[in-house]
Structure 1
């Protein structure tokens, strides 16, 4: 075999070995790339799922701890402390008004609450009001604000807002008796009770 034939045979052998080796290497590298991509994608999806699960768990935990928000249908009007102390039911008292006038009225006690004759106070203050025909609703206007009392109910509407009185308003002989502090709040006053003097003073807040 001459030199050229030997060289040719060597080249053929080299090509054959290269063709046999590199495809396998290329395939192996490609498989590794695909495996790497699948791994990275799976890892990313697992990370996203973990974050989703943690967020869902946090939301459920928050819902268990939180209580539904409750919107009160009415705002209570607080009563003056120990308002009835020293007074007895059907006792006469002087109701002193901020303008210097005063009116004598009968005080009523019910359910531990002190009630004043609202009609008498409104008339002394010259506050316009009306009692509806059935005698169960009193509507008036003080300082340009409307207020409505319902007999036998613990509800008063003051300037469009519904509030709850300390005890149910009641009417006797067309006179509305209202818890002291509720009446004072509607008129924009504070009330000072002086039972030793049989006197209740209304003061501008």
Structure 2
């Protein structure tokens, strides 16, 4: 757990795919609604779903439901704080911020990012990056995904509507911009490389 400010916390957890029964029992004991599990066919996805909720219960010290709006953006059932959720391979990440709508993304490092970079980076962004730098390319992906979650709707594109304005590898910070015909927002982000994963999350200005 990282306390970014008194009102902003980032939770990182590794998924143990052998703990289905343990996680299920924990959520059942805390009276968490488990019916959504029936709609998830993949057992790994089920365990990731359970891990997110057990991590949240452990941090908050109380049971609480995660609900989704019509754009599939997560919210806590009591609206006590803003939440953003991400998972990739064996890791999950949560950002809880009492002050502002926030976004987080964790992504496993893979050479695949080199092949798809033109799909999410603008020509101007591509000029700034070594085309074979997997870590930087993946951090750019995580920045854009975190900002996409702040926006919270599915009518924008990473390449056209989300821009990495500044990126500093020395301080591991960035500034990103979301821009549409009817919406504009510019946000700071903290960045990390954790083992084989990139992490980006928005922070208060």
Per the normalisation by structure 2, the TM-score is: 0.24
Query: Which of 1 and 2 has greater Rg?
Result: 1
Higher helix share: 1
Per the normalisation by structure 1, the TM-score is: 0.24
